Structure 1
């Protein structure tokens, strides 16, 4: 009989080690019937997530370690451990490690699911695929990622 639950130990889950972060899928679309995906994202010193939005899914971030600056709907905020940020569909957002912070770790919930499948497709791509703007545009559209631009400049002070 198939298990009716999933168990992922510390350091476990499908992982994707990118140049700017190392992401672990803890609860996949398959585990939730497509309702949500839960991931642990380990941010590296050069982490920057450019300005984007999602038309159909929400994101929730819970900071575990480090300090992350978020730009959400025109506002800048610094998220410390214990901070929870929920971003509904249609809201522009970006994030970057806070200046002076060299690493971070956060849980991310995507609802409905799908981001884990996006990562799986990215994980199969070649360098040439990443350079093919038509291919990347189609992939982003399929997974509801509307890229707007780089991380906006944060005003001094």
Structure 2
């Protein structure tokens, strides 16, 4: 069953999670509104991420290098690699994200999204949530 989770200007549609893949994969489609961005650049301790462009253009920053993701492009982000993204394309951008193995699940996104939705989030609260779920934030 698909679950939709919103984090500010980002909407995720979970298609598969660790719960229904026996921990093999987390897979979600992600819409990023124009001028939307990843709230906190980070790396992952325990999984790799593969991103496939579906619509629009996202600008990723992977280990400090800019990389454009257009429809049909793929991007592999190995665990431990700091990354973030933003949508400067002037239109909605959509990509498919696959996390392997599936150890994150939708729980992190639900919790992070609730804090963002409540108003100006405390960076320390976001940091604690991220660390608890296996993400390593890079805060200013």
TM-score range, shorter chain: 0.7 to 0.9
What is the TM-score with the length of structure 1 in the denominator? 0.76
Unaligned segments of structure 1, at least 5 residues: 1-7, 151-157
Unaligned regions of 5+ residues in structure 2, if any?
Answer: none
Are 1:136 and 2:137 counterparts?
A: no
TM-score (norm 2): 0.85
The CA distance in 1 between the partners of 2:67 and 2:139, in whole Å, is 19
CA RMSD in angstroms comes to: 2.1
Task: State the aligned residue count.
Answer: 137
1:123 Cα offset (Å): 4.9
Structure 2: distance between partners of 1:133 and 1:77: 26
Q: Which runs of 4+ in 1 moved over 4 A?
A: 123-126
2:106 corresponds in structure 1 to 116
Identify the structure with bigger relative contact order (alpha carbons < 8 Å, sequence gap 6+): 2
How far apart are the structure 2 equivalents of 1:75 and 1:124? 30
Structure 2 match to 1:4: none
Rg: which structure is higher? 1
Q: In the alignment, what sits opposite 1:83?
A: 73
Matches of 2:72 and 2:22 in 1, distance apart? 28
For the residue of structure 1 that corresponds to 2:20, the secondary structure is helix
